């Protein structure tokens, strides 16, 4: 057993931590208030190497593993959870293109993703289909020339949807069910694409959006993987992003607890620091214990992925548990601040709002428990 990072991983953590403290944390409140990132934000992430972590070196990335992406989002999440989404999407979609794309597609698409010049969104959820994503209805029909496709339909809840230059769009090309879905890599400035930003509770800079495709033409070269294999083939790898979201959630909660503990040392009530009251200290200890355990579970999933081991159970356990634990820990941290935490401009109130999104993003608690139940009980004995 080894619970530590390697020297290289420690160095990566320090580097990202320094970057996050200098470049991300100071702008977090403004990003939240203005509901956007500043100009140049994504290319700055790219220059810092954060959008190319998992992309192979020959395509402009750093060729690092899942644990390293976890380390990066962990350090970013301590500064601003919302800043993790571009890194998460680049790792997820970069990985999908790397596994499923042709050599030409990889050479054309991956370097700009690694550089932060292409900002990528995962365009799957629809107004009528979220958990039952295999039932999506956005249609891709053969174009008149018989080669390309025409996309028509609406997607919603797309994180970074307002910022993204490209979307990995899942569309129905065949019959009902998972086998009739194809993935397309689509520039989002194309004719026929329109976007509406959603007024969100948290992760406000993230630009979650509804994206409408009105007879949007895509070429045969923009199909990722095989036609009809979008769901079954291309979506493999989602367990990776679930474990990353778990790391993000645990890291943000840890930062919230750290802030609460610092406050508990300083603030006095009844003549002593409030941390001296068991009613303040022990709940913080309980949440710190859970957050630590959830973080380890998430890293176990990432470590198993890098080791080439099945990590579905660990990733999906971490995905339902860490965001839940994170919300509860952040709530306790907020209460520790008393009335100060209720103020809109106190960092803990933003952390509280931002903490809830990861409970839903990339599959709700029930969706991930379904995966675990089928593994633990067997498909025939599970919901």
Residues that bind ligand FAD (CB under 6 A): 121-125, 130-131, 157-159, 203, 208, 357, 360-364, 366-367
Q: Is 169 helix (H, G, I), strand (E, B) or coil?
A: strand
Q: Is 273 helix (H, G, I), strand (E, B) or coil?
A: strand
Least distance in angstroms from the C-beta of 208 to ligand FAD: 6
Q: Which is nearer to ligand FAD, 210 or 254 (CB)?
A: 210
Report how far residue 133's alpha carbon sits from residue 100's, in angstroms, rounded to the nearest whole number.
20
Torsion of CA 16, 21, 23, 26, to 10 degrees: 150
- Start-to-end C-alpha separation, the chain: 35
* Residue 154: closest CA among 166, 176, 142, 170: 170
Question: Are 315 and 240 a contacting pair, CB within 8 Å?
Answer: yes
Least distance in angstroms from the C-beta of 41 to ligand FAD: 17
Report how far residue 158's alpha carbon sits from residue 184's, in angstroms, rounded to the nearest whole number.
15
Q: Which is nearer to ligand FAD, 124 or 298 (CB)?
A: 124
Least distance in angstroms from the C-beta of 12 to ligand FAD: 25
Least distance in angstroms from the C-beta of 164 to ligand FAD: 9
Q: Which is nearer to ligand FAD, 52 or 167 (CB)?
A: 167
Q: Which is nearer to ligand FAD, 151 or 280 (CB)?
A: 151
Q: Which is nearer to ligand FAD, 364 or 375 (CB)?
A: 364
Question: Are 355 and 294 a contacting pair, CB within 8 Å?
Answer: no
Q: Which is nearer to ligand FAD, 119 or 150 (CB)?
A: 119
Question: Are 148 and 217 a contacting pair, CB within 8 Å?
Answer: yes
* Residue 330: closest CA among 202, 199, 208, 243: 202
Least distance in angstroms from the C-beta of 62 to ligand FAD: 23
User: What is the per-residue DSSP string for 304-365?
Assistant: HHHTT---HHHHHHHHHHHHHHHHHHHHHHHHHTGGGGGSTTSHHHHHHHHHHHHHHTTS-H
Exposure of 171 by Cβ count < 10 A (0-12 exposed, 13-18 middle, 19+ buried)? buried
Least distance in angstroms from the C-beta of 352 to ligand FAD: 14
Least distance in angstroms from the C-beta of 157 to ligand FAD: 4
Q: Which is nearer to ligand FAD, 98 or 126 (CB)?
A: 126
Q: Which is nearer to ligand FAD, 292 or 324 (CB)?
A: 324
Q: Is 267 helix (H, G, I), strand (E, B) or coil?
A: coil
Query: Which stretches of the chain are assigned E, i.e. beta strand?
Result: 120-123, 139-142, 149-158, 166-172, 181-187, 193-197, 209-218, 223-224, 268-269, 272-273
Least distance in angstroms from the C-beta of 323 to ligand FAD: 10
Q: Which is nearer to ligand FAD, 80 or 300 (CB)?
A: 80
Closest-by-Cβ residue to ligand FAD is 130
Least distance in angstroms from the C-beta of 73 to ligand FAD: 14
Least distance in angstroms from the C-beta of 362 to ligand FAD: 6
Residue 6 is encoded by which pair of tokens?
């390697």
Q: Which is nearer to ligand FAD, 105 or 125 (CB)?
A: 125
């Amino acid at each position: 057993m080894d619970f530590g990072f390697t020297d290289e991983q420690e160095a990566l953590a320090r580097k990202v931590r320094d970057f996050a403290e200098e470049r991300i944390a100071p702008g977090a409140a403004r990003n939240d208030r203005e509901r956007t990132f500043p100009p140049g934000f994504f290319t700055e992430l790219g220059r810092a190497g954060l959008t190319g972590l998992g992309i192979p070196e020959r395509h402009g990335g750093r060729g690092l593993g899942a644990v390293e992406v976890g380390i990066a989002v962990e350090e970013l999440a301590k500064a601003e959870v919302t800043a993790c989404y571009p890194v998460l999407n680049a790792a997820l979609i970069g990985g999908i293109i790397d596994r499923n794309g042709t050599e030409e597609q990889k050479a054309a698409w991956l370097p700009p993703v690694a550089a932060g010049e292409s900002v990528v969104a995962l365009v799957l959820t629809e107004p009528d289909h979220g958990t039952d994503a295999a039932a999506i209805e956005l249609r891709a029909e053969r174009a008149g020339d018989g080669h390309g496709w025409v996309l028509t339909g609406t997607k919603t809840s797309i994180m970074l949807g307002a910022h993204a230059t490209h979307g990995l769009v899942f569309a129905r090309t065949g019959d009902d069910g998972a086998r009739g879905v194809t993935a397309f890599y689509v520039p989002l400035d194309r004719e026929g694409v329109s976007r509406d930003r959603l007024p969100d509770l948290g992760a406000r800079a993230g630009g979650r959006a509804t994206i409408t495709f009105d007879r949007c033409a895509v070429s045969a070269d923009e199909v990722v993987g095989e036609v009809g294999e979008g769901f079954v083939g291309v979506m493999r790898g989602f367990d990776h992003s679930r474990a990353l979201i778990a790391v993000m959630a645990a890291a943000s909660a840890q930062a919230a607890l750290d802030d609460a503990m610092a406050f508990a040392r300083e603030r006095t009530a009844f003549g002593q620091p409030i941390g001296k009251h068991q009613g303040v200290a022990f709940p913080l200890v309980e949440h710190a214990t859970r957050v630590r355990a959830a973080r380890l579970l998430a890293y176990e999933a990432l470590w198993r992925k890098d080791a080439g081991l099945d990590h579905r159970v660990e990733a999906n356990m971490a995905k339902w548990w860490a965001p839940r634990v994170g919300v509860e820990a952040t709530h306790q941290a907020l209460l520790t601040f008393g009335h100060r935490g209720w103020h809109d401009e106190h960092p803990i109130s933003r952390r509280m709002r931002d903490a809830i999104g990861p409970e839903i993003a990339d599959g709700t608690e029930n969706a991930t428990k379904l995966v675990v139940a089928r593994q633990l009980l067997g498909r025939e004995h599970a919901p």
